[in-house]
């Protein structure tokens, strides 16, 4: 059941901010930095189409 992020295509990912524990759903293909809506911590950065995740991945939503 466990999937590596590198195998993901276009999906939504539920993340938990490691700083404030806020849960946030993001798209795994982003074109700009995604920040935590609560504490402004960077949660994901775009790297050639795929997001580099800087938070805890809770769930991948198909
Ligand atoms: Zn946060």
| Other beta carbons within 10 Å of 13 | 21
Alpha-carbon Rg for the chain, nearest whole angstrom, is 11
Q: Is the pLDDT of residue 28 over 70?
A: yes
Residue 6: predicted pLDDT: 56
Residue 2: predicted pLDDT: 59
Q: How far is CA 37 from the centre of its chain?
A: 13
Distance 32 CA to ligand 1 centre (A): 17
How many residues belong to the chain? 62
What are the distances in angstroms from CA 14 to CA 7, 27, 37? 16, 9, 13
Q: Is the pLDDT of residue 56 over 70?
A: yes
| Other beta carbons within 10 Å of 15 | 23
Distance 28 CA to ligand 1 centre (A): 18
Q: Is the pLDDT of residue 14 over 60?
A: yes
């Amino acid at each position: 059941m466990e999937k590596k992020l590198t195998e993901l295509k276009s999906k939504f990912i539920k993340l938990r901010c490691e700083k404030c524990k806020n849960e946030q759903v993001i798209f795994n293909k982003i074109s700009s930095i995604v920040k935590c809506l609560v504490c402004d911590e960077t949660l994901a950065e775009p790297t050639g189409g795929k997001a580099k995740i800087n938070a805890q991945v809770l769930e991948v939503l198909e």
